[in-house]
Amino acid sequence: MIAGRLGSGAGWSVPENRFVGEIARTYDQRGTGMFAELEATVDCLVELSGGGAAMEFAIGTGRVAVPLAARGVRVAGIELSADMLAVLGSKPEASDITAVEGDMAVTCVEGEFSLVFLLFNTIQNLTSQDEQVACFENAARHLRPGGRFVIECRVPGLRQLPPGNPGVPFAVTEDCIGIDDFMDRTHNQISRSRHFRRRGDDSFREFTAPFRYVSPAELDLMARIAGMTLEHRWAWWDRSPFTGESPSHVSVWRLADAQIEDGRRRRASFATCGRRARYPTRSPTPRPTTRPTTHGNPSRPHHSPPAPAKAPSGTATEPSSGKANMHTVLLQRSLRTQNQPRSPLPPMTAPVFGAAPRR
């Protein structure tokens, strides 16, 4: 399997990896909301993949990728945080998932996908318009003609701002206080999400991250720049209608079939994605068997999802033979990089786990 990285341009910020250490280790233990109500999400993604391979940008700990792979969809992912990947790699159910460490705006993975998806408001973790556009272009680069790019994102809560006040609370409970602070409402559309979550010892852990909030209409324009058009916009994964009151949206854009030649050109341009390297597909290192013990989660849903609805299942795919064991390569990598200073940018050639998804 091959991965590469595109060059960066002016107005490009270095993506900061905030999902490290305790944040990554405790990410999976929410058990509610976005973590519990996955059936409609997975049903919908299975159908949208149409039996082909799927790529998750910002795959994280595999909250969705793992149940999607269990439904027979071949899943690959790109993820900035090595710590999140380590949690993913510790899950025995993730052994068929191919994961690459890198920035979803610029990292290229060889292969052709019928579906690229980016969930949980994470397009907004890219904090400039240039990077968000690049992310759409990178999605198009990975898609086969007619393939789909799906984003799940909240609608910016500007309407909820009290006059003269830049902050909107999104969670006020005994255990969690969350405030969206709209810091730059002029050119750059930057908000800051501040989470204060109670620990077991009653202290509060703060997790604060900047976002570039973005409207559905602006995302449509980014899709057009990348050669895609809107196919669906729902309020949630049960395909409930999106309205002016919807706090979130699930949007599906499609790379046109008419762009077959263009798509070929894009795939050919993979050669320009930066240095490329081939990684071992087998490792002698034994697979770790323990799962991390976790509590809490820094990210939060901005949705109150309606009851899940069934969608038709997609076609199951065969597991590929000679597939790498992701866990073992992860472990090798983490041993290799222990105590080494981290570059502020992901490496030009991102470490690759697993085998390339079959078309």
Give me the phi and psi of 176, to 5 degrees please: -150, 130
> Is residue 246 close enough to count as binding ligand SAM by CB under 6 A?
no
Query: Which residue, 26 or 283, is less far from ligand SAM as judged by CB?
Result: 26
- The answer to whether residues 189 and 214 touch, using CB atoms and an 8 Å cutoff, is yes
Q: Which of 37, 103, 112, 137 binds ligand SAM (CB under 6 A)?
A: 103
Alpha helices in the chain (DSSP H): 21-25, 39-49, 65-70, 82-89, 129-142, 216-225, 260-268, 326-337
Q: Which of 49, 81, 124, 189 binds ligand SAM (CB under 6 A)?
A: 81
> Is residue 112 close enough to count as binding ligand SAM by CB under 6 A?
no
> Is residue 122 close enough to count as binding ligand SAM by CB under 6 A?
yes
Give least dist CB 97 to ligand SAM, A: 12
DSSP code string of 259-283: GHHHHHHHHHGGGGSS--EE--S--
Tell me which stretch binds ligand SAM (CB under 6 A): 103-111, 245-253, 288-296, 326-334.
Answer: 103-111
The span from the CA of 348 to the CA of 340, in Å, is 16
Q: Which of 69, 97, 119, 222 binds ligand SAM (CB under 6 A)?
A: 119
The span from the CA of 109 to the CA of 176, in Å, is 37
Give least dist CB 91 to ligand SAM, A: 13
> Is residue 123 close enough to count as binding ligand SAM by CB under 6 A?
no
Within 10 Å of residue 211's Cβ, how many Cβ atoms? 22
Within 10 Å of residue 98's Cβ, how many Cβ atoms? 29
Q: Which of 125, 132, 189, 246 binds ligand SAM (CB under 6 A)?
A: 125
> Is residue 104 close enough to count as binding ligand SAM by CB under 6 A?
yes
Residue among 167, 171, 166, 162 nearest 196 (CA): 171
> Is residue 301 close enough to count as binding ligand SAM by CB under 6 A?
no
Q: Which residues bind ligand SAM (CB under 6 A)?
A: 15, 19, 58-60, 63-64, 78-81, 84, 103-105, 119-120, 122, 125-126, 299
